[in-house]
């Protein structure tokens, strides 16, 4: 009995080895990624960011939900995506350490660009809509942010708007073109409702992915 088992096991192992000698279908079809994009989902854990005025939704949760949709859209289009976080937790126990770890990931060598996902909030509840920030003075960052805001406004049927210069850690630290996307205002009733709607989240995410690829694939 033991001998039969041993024989079966040997056949199984040999069979596996033989099957592995040539390329498996996965290896045959796998192509190297077209681009390497780092996605940063703002906040997390003890730092929830802004909260929705009407619903109390946490910015950190929406950043993760919408960011993951962006990640999958980019992966579907042949990109390799590195995330700064993959769950609702912060990256460290303090804000300072969290930002340091985020910065280290955003500076990973070989990336083509970085994209940080956030939600906005403002005391005037009428202010609404997406905004894209680039590091002031960074021409390539400006071009990336321009492609992304154009794709978002075009994809969602919003009035065109320009990307905004700014000075943010997540656009200042990386050596590669970087954009910080404020997807909408959690203080505006329409934006908040939209940003919590899975269908809108998906359209927004695909528009962001379109904009990133418009930039990366430009001649």
- Residues making contact with Zn ion (CB under 5 A): 42, 49, 118
Give the residue with the Cβ less far from Zn ion, 10 or 86.
86
What string of DSSP letters covers 113-155?
EEEEEEEE--SSTT--S-EEEEETT-HHHHHHHHHHHHHHHHH
What is the token pair recorded at 150?
């154009």
Beta pairing class for 164-166 and 178-185: unpaired
Q: How far is the CB of 63 from Zn ion (least distance, A)?
A: 7
* 21 or 124: CB nearest Zn ion: 124
For Zn ion, the closer CB: 81 or 181: 181
Instruction: CB nearer to Zn ion: give 37 or 62.
Output: 62
| Nearest-approach distance from CB 142 to Zn ion, in angstroms | 21
**Contact call for residues 186 and 51 (beta carbons, < 8 A):** yes
| Number of other residues whose CB lies within 10 A of the CB of residue 189 | 16
Q: H/E element holding 66?
A: helix 59-76
Name the residue whose CB lies closest to Zn ion. 118
Give the nearest distance from C-beta 192 to Zn ion in angstroms: 14
At its nearest, how many Å lie between Zn ion and the CB of residue 34? 29
């Amino acid at each position: 009995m033991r001998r039969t088992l041993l024989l079966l096991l040997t056949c199984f192992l040999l069979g596996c080895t033989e099957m592995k000698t040539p390329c498996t279908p996965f290896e045959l079809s796998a192509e190297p990624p077209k681009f390497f994009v780092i996605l940063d989902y703002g906040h997390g854990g003890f730092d929830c960011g802004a909260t929705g005025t009407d619903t109390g939704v946490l910015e950190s949760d929406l950043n993760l939900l919408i960011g993951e949709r962006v990640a999958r859209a980019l992966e579907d289009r042949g990109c390799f995506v590195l995330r700064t976080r993959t769950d609702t937790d912060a990256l460290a126990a303090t804000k300072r350490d969290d930002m340091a770890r985020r910065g280290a990931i955003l500076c990973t060598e070989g990336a083509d660009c970085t994209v940080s996902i956030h939600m906005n909030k403002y005391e005037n509840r009428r202010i609404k809509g997406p905004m894209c920030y680039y590091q002031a003075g960074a021409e390539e960052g400006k071009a990336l942010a321009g492609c992304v805001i154009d794709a978002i406004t075009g994809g969602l049927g919003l009035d065109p708007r320009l990307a905004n210069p700014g000075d943010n850690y997540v656009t200042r630290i990386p050596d590669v073109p970087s954009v910080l996307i404020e997807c909408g205002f959690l203080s505006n009733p329409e934006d908040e409702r939209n940003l919590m709607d899975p269908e809108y989240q998906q359209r927004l995410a695909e528009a962001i992915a379109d904009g990133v690829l418009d930039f990366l694939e430009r001649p």
